């Protein structure tokens, strides 16, 4: 046992309240080092260490470096004055771990402490989020529902996308495609920016209180939200608050009036006058048309909070996706959360980040983050084959290990967006690989988000290629892919384990590119097997069900049945952390997917 690899700290990454009387406690250790970990805990005001309670911890994630353990304790009252330590068994020795480190006996001094659970510390995610299957729409390229509001220089629908051209998509176009969205099965929309701006992407906002005229007006948004809600579909808007557009009235006022401008402190300007050639002001990505807002200025903070509140009150939107959220100070997001939640307690707040970002998900800022760690792993494994199955499993489990179990079911899992190469392009137009990635995305733990057009196999390199016009004339191949997506979405909705269940990886091998996992809740398990190579494979996977000669496991896509067997004399993947009871031999087609339940 490597003692230096045993890690627990008295911070939110390792101990956090679920509610007033439930507390989650975590610890991690070198992969494979621990055979058993037991938490000892007691109320230091009511009892002593000799009367401590103890509970076995569960390994909930394993990557190539660490095993991650967690336990949920129920104190039966508002949790307070808890002292605790860990008993760790490596199969040979038993040691005890507290703030001072490792000891061979239980110690009276130096045990970890947790003082009290406060209501404001709970991560309260809107109840509807984990049920959601999101669909991201880039409005200018989805559907032209009203040609009367098109820009004068609009190009033909389906033209090669550039960063400058317009094709006429609008809010009415989305409205007219609600039946399509319903049939697909999605129940939430993430809409890229729709406020007044000169570009086709609208990330260079001019007026945050006005819908861009080429998309419609506030009444069009109200009607869209109303009809979406009537069809049980939520909608969140893109809030681009880190920066504004060059042509926003505030920045133009600074350009015009210089030192006399009342907005000069709204931005980070090195010296006046503003110089767009030298770019003597801060802007996002060094892009001079998007000056960065100064959140040290209280007027800016109030202004953005007002925007967040306004669109909830005026259009009844269901939440905000916050652009480059990790470039704005965290204290502001706490204020923003309080502001929008005061209007709608079920408002969903989604932060854009491209890295692991636990600090956003501690209950005071975001409900979820765009999980680009998921995107990277899926793209490199399924699309590019640049990592093997073990590395893929490690990367998935690494972010599950880092994020709290409370967050797992709301992680915003994507395989493409307006900022990435289309998945089908990344995998060289291999539709089978896209199907594999889609299956993993829709059956994995968390909230899947489909980027418009992926469900019919749209292609495109990174921005602007990934922002092409939606193709509404489907080929037979595209229609087949669309039906595949519909079926996966139907399966996800039908089995509660695929929405609420835990995730456990149960098969990895150097002999093939097959990956298997199980999603489980009480009384329901769904097993998923993915064959990421161009050959038929026959594998034996372990099961968590007890062996019964009368039971079979059934593929819910093909209705194929397989006889359950006893455990064979072999070492199964993760058999030291999961209590396997039986096994089954399965054949799986090249680039195939099997979704299995035990009957």
Q: Which residues form the catalytic set?
A: 323, 352
| 190 DSSP β-pair partners | 136, 236
| 234 DSSP β-pair partners | 188
CA–CA separation, 431 vs 426, rounded Å?
Answer: 11
List of E strands, 138-217: 188-191, 195-196, 207-211
Peptide bond into 464 cis (omega under 30): yes
CA–CA separation, 200 vs 150, rounded Å?
Answer: 12
Q: What distances in angstroms separate CA 446 from CA 122, 317, 410, 440, 518, one per listed residue?
A: 19, 22, 5, 11, 14
Question: Token digits for 528?
Answer: 């998923």
Question: From the centroid of its chain, how far is CA 487?
Answer: 22
Question: Token digits for 249?
Answer: 């009235």
Q: Are 186 and 450 in contact (CB under 8 A)?
A: yes
Question: Token digits for 338?
Answer: 């309080």
| 97 DSSP β-pair partners | 86, 102
CA dihedral sign, ordered 334, 339, 345, 347: negative
Q: What distances in angstroms separate CA 123 from CA 18, 60, 286, 410, one per listed residue?
A: 7, 20, 35, 11
Q: Are 161 and 465 in contact (CB under 8 A)?
A: yes
CA–CA separation, 502 vs 522, rounded Å?
Answer: 10
Helices (H) and strands (E) counted in the chain, each on its own, are 13, 28
Q: Among all chains, which residue has been given the structure tokens 């190009």?
A: 155
CA–CA separation, 215 vs 355, rounded Å?
Answer: 32
Question: Token digits for 34?
Answer: 């621990």
CA–CA separation, 7 vs 144, rounded Å?
Answer: 55
302: CB partners within 8 A, 6+ apart: none
CA–CA separation, 191 vs 321, rounded Å?
Answer: 9
Question: Token digits for 286?
Answer: 């060094």
230: CB partners within 8 A, 6+ apart: none
């Amino acid at each position: 046992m490597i003692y230096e690899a045993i890690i627990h700290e008295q911070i939110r990454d390792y101990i956090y309240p679920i509610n007033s009387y439930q507390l989650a406690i975590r610890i991690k250790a070198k992969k494979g080092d621990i055979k058993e970990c037991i938490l000892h805990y007691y109320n230091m005001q009511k009892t002593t260490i000799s009367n401590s309670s103890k509970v076995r911890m569960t390994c909930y994630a394993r990557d190539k470096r660490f095993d991650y353990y967690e336990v949920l304790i129920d104190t039966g009252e508002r949790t307070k004055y808890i002292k605790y330590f860990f008993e760790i068994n490596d199969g040979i020795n038993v040691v005890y771990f507290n703030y001072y480190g490792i000891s061979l006996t239980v110690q009276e001094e130096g045990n970890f402490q947790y003082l009290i659970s406060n209501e404001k510390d709970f991560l309260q995610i809107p109840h509807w989020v984990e049920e959601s299957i999101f669909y991201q729409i880039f409005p200018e390229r989805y559907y032209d529902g009203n040609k009367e509001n098109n820009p004068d220089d609009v190009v033909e629908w389906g033209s090669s996308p550039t960063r400058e051209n317009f094709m006429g998509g609008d809010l009415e176009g989305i409205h007219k495609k609600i039946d399509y969205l319903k049939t697909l099965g999605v129940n939430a929309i993430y809409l890229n920016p729709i406020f007044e701006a000169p570009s086709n992407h609208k990330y260079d906002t001019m007026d945050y209180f006005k819908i861009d005229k080429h998309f419609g007006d506030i009444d069009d948004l109200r009607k869209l939200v109303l009809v979406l809600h009537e069809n049980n579909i939520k909608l969140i808007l893109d809030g681009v608050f880190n920066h504004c557009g060059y042509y926003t009235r505030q920045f133009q006022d600074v350009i015009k009036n210089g030192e006399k401008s009342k907005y000069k402190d709204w931005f980070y300007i090195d010296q006046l006058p503003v110089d767009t050639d030298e770019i003597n002001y801060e802007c996002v990505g060094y892009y001079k048309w998007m000056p960065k807002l100064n959140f040290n200025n209280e007027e800016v903070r109030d202004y953005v909070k007002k925007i967040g509140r306004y669109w909830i009150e005026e259009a009844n939107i269901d939440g905000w996706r916050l652009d480059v959220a990790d470039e704005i100070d965290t204290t502001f997001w706490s204020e923003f959360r309080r502001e929008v939640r005061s209007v709608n307690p079920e408002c969903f707040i989604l932060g854009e980040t491209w890295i692991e970002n636990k600090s956003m998900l501690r209950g005071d800022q975001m409900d979820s983050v765009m999980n680009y760690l998921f995107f990277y792993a899926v793209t490199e494994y399924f699309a590019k084959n640049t990592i093997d199955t073990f590395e893929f499993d490690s990367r998935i489990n690494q972010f599950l290990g880092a994020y709290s179990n409370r967050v797992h079911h709301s992680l915003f899992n994507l395989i493409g967006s307006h900022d990435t190469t289309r998945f089908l392009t990344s995998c060289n137009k291999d539709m089978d690989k896209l199907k594999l990635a889609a299956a993993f995305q829709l059956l994995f733990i968390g909230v899947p988000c489909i980027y418009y057009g992926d469900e019919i196999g749209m292609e495109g390199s990174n921005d602007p290629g990934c922002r092409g016009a939606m193709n509404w004339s489907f080929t037979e191949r595209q229609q087949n892919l669309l039906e595949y997506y519909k079926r996966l979405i139907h399966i996800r909705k039908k089995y509660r384990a695929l929405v609420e269940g835990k995730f456990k990886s149960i098969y990895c091998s150097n002999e093939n590119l097959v990956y298997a996992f199980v999603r489980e809740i009480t009384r329901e398990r769904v097993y998923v097997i993915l064959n990421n190579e161009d050959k038929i494979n026959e594998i034996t996977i372990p099961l968590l069900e007890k062996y019964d000669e009368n039971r079979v496991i059934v593929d819910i896509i093909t209705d194929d049945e397989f006889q359950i067997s006893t455990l064979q004399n072999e070492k199964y993947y993760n058999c030291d952390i999961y209590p396997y009871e039986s096994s089954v031999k399965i054949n799986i087609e090249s680039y195939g997917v099997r979704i299995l339940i035990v009957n």
